[in-house]
Amino acid sequence: MPPDLPALFVERARDHHAGVHACTLAELPDLLGVLLAGASGVVLPAGTPPAWTGRLGPPTLAGDLLTAAQLDAPGLAVLTGCALAVAETGTLVLDGGVAQGRRLLTLVPDHHVCVVRAAQIVADVPDLVRALPDPTRPITMISGPSATSDIELNRVEGVHGPRRLDIVCLSAAR
C-alpha cells in the first residue's frame, strides 16, 4: 500500500514546530485571514492567486518592491506558495516560481505562511530531484521555522529567519 504522502508530510512538518492546517480551496481565504490577522502587513509575491487574498485584513505589500530592511519590519508576514514539498522530511521547496517570489521574502519576515497543494507533495528527496520543474533554478528548502540551540540545547526560534511558519495543506475536497 503506498504511503499517505499528505499525512506523512503533516506529521513531519509538525515535528519541525511548524503550524500545519488542512483546508479545501473554498475554505482557504477564511483560514488565511485568520492566520494573518495579527500581522502589521502581508507581503505577497507576484503571481499570488487573487482567490487566496479575499479575506486578508492587514495591508498587503508587493514583495518584489521591498528591501531587506523593509521586510524586517515588526509584525510583517509573507504569504507564498511552493514548488514542491517532501513528505519524508516535512520540507517545503521553493524555487522562486509563481506565488513564491524571491528568496528574501521567505527568509526575512517574522511569519511565513505557505500554501501546499496535495499534488505537490513527493515522497522523498530523490523524488524531489526528479520532480523539480527546472533543476537548474536555485531552490530554498524550509523545514520548520528558523531555529538554533545553544550549548545547553535551549531552542530559540527566529534567530536567522521567520520565527513562525504556518503551512496550509490544500486538498481538492475533504
Ramachandran region of residue 43, left (φ > 0), alpha (ψ -120 to 50) or beta? beta
pLDDT digits (tens, 9 = 90+) for 69-91: 999 888 999 999 999 999 999 99
Q: Where are the domains of the chain?
A: 5-144
Name the β-bridge partners of 93: 84, 141
pLDDT digits (tens, 9 = 90+) for 117-148: 999 999 999 999 999 988 899 999 998 776 66
By percentage, how much of the chain surpasses pLDDT 90? 53
> Which of 149, 2, 5 lies closest to 89 in space, CA to CA?
5
Cell of 18: 511548524
Q: Give the pLDDT confidence score for residue 174 in this predicted structure.
A: 45
Mean pLDDT is lowest, of 88-97, 104-113, 149-158, for: 149-158
Fold classified for 5-144? Rossmann fold (3.40.50)
Which pLDDT band, with edges at 50, 70 and 90, does 155 fall under? low
pLDDT digits (tens, 9 = 90+) for 32-43: 999 999 899 999
For residue 50, give every residue at least 6 positions away whose Cβ sits within 8 Å of its Cβ, in sequence order, or none.
none
pTM of the model: 0.88
Q: Which amino acid type is present at position 27?
A: E
pLDDT reading at 158 higher than 60: no
